[in-house]
Amino acid sequence: MRLWYKTGDVAALRELPRNRVVCLDVETTGLDPNADEVLQVALIRGDEVVLMSSHVRPERHVRWPAAQRVNGISPEMVADCPPLSSLSQELERHLCGATLIVGYNVAFDLAFVRVAGISCGNVPVFDVMREFAPVVGRRRGGGRDYSWVPLERCARHYGIRFRAHDALEDARATLCCFWAMLERGPARGSSAAAKSYLSVVADYASEKSHGGV
């Protein structure tokens, strides 16, 4: 998956029409897209227009106790909801019609969508989780890769409050983080060591100009 900060240039992202950006989030019965199923899906446009927000009924699973402890979605809550297949055409239309798809660990969300037979075309993707990792700056295992942090940590960095593990709330928070990364630095009161995403981009641009990346 492309890491935009490594290009040293995110100017094109800042100029995107907000109504051509979509942010996706799903809640699921588990972590394996080939075995688990979607319980809730949310899609919100870059100008904060909600395109989709729905609980969905899994077609194979009847209980998911471990996931329920995290997302609070019980079998009873989705018993009378439509299956994801009934939303697939609408979801595909929004995803394929976008200029950019945004999400937090968006590869996870897209994997569930694709396994369900929903295409995303060749639309570029911006993963806020991976892009935010160098802002925190913790190296993974002493190597060159950065450690990922939860959405709650990213949102706190930008002063964003939300109710985690609800697809629509997560999508809204992710979208707010995305625009904040491109427009401003950390929220007031953040750690003195906190830096901005744009400074990370600038650092990589400088390294590239000196042949370091």
Question: Tens of pLDDT along 35-63?
Answer: 999 999 999 999 999 999 999 999 999 99
- Look at residue 53 in the predicted model and tell me its pLDDT: 98
pLDDT band at 186 (very low <50, low <70, confident <90, very high): low
pLDDT at 102: 98
Answer for the pair 199, 136: CB distance below 8 angstroms, yes or no. Answer: no
Question: In which order are the strands placed within the sheet that holds 21-28?
Answer: 50-55, 38-45, 21-28, 100-103, 125-127
* pLDDT bucket at 190, cuts 50 / 70 / 90: low
pLDDT (tens digit, 9 = 90+) per residue, 101-120? 999 999 999 999 999 999 99
**pLDDT confidence band for 187 (50 / 70 / 90):** low
Model confidence band, residue 188 (pLDDT cutoffs 50, 70, 90): low
Residues sharing a CB contact under 8 Å with residue 79, sequence separation 6 or more, in sequence order: 57
pLDDT of residue 138: 81
Query: Three-state SS for 15?
Result: coil
Give the pLDDT score at 192: 45
Mean pLDDT, residues 70-84 taken together: 97
For each of the domains in the chain, give its residue range(s) and CATH number, in order of start.
Answer: 9-209 (3.30.420.10)
Residue 158 scores a pLDDT above 70: yes
Q: What is the mean pLDDT of the chain?
A: 92
Q: Could you tell me if 72 and 65 are in contact, meaning their C-beta atoms sit under 8 angstroms apart?
A: no
pTM, entire model: 0.92
pLDDT at residue 142 above 80?
no
